[in-house]
């Protein structure tokens, strides 16, 4: 059974990014976004359950929006106003919805990276 998961690591502290808001969107053929789910990371920087799984996980384009600005503000990080990074949208395609797709985010107040995890 295929599923979509994520986790977030705060590379400025070397710790999981707990209580970070994430939005999951489906991207239509016309480019329009449809909000599927809103979730928050747990103490381990992960979402407690897959964002999508089973029949709801289908081939197509999706976007994860990570609300990192509010995460860093809530932790008292000294940021300029406006912050350099606020919301990070990651748009990706799913070709095989029968597999596990893991999309992690490594983030600091001034940079981020991602990759296709397993």
Q: Is the pLDDT of residue 41 over 90?
A: yes
Architecture (CATH level 2) of domain 3-114:
Sandwich (2.60)
- Give pLDDT tens digits for 71-113: 999 999 999 999 999 999 999 999 999 999 999 999 999 999 9
Q: Is the pLDDT of residue 118 over 90?
A: no
Position 5 scores a pLDDT of 98
Rounded to an integer, the average pLDDT of 13-24 is 98
- Per the prediction, the chain carries an average pLDDT of 96
Q: Where are the domains of the chain?
A: 3-114
How far, in Å, CA of 58 to CA of 31, rounded?
17
């Amino acid at each position: 059974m295929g599923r979509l998961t994520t986790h977030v690591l705060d590379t400025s502290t070397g710790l999981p990014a707990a209580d970070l808001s994430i939005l999951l969107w489906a991207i239509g053929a016309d480019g329009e976004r449809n909000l599927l789910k809103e979730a928050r990371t747990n103490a381990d920087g992960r979402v407690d359950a897959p964002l999508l799984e089973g029949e709801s996980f289908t081939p197509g384009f999706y976007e994860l929006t990570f609300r990192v600005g509010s995460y860093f503000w809530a932790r008292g990080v000294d940021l300029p106003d406006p912050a350099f990074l606020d919301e990070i949208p990651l748009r990706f395609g799913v070709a095989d919805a029968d597999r596990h797709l893991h999309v992690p985010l490594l983030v600091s107040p001034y940079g981020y990276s991602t990759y296709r995890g397993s």
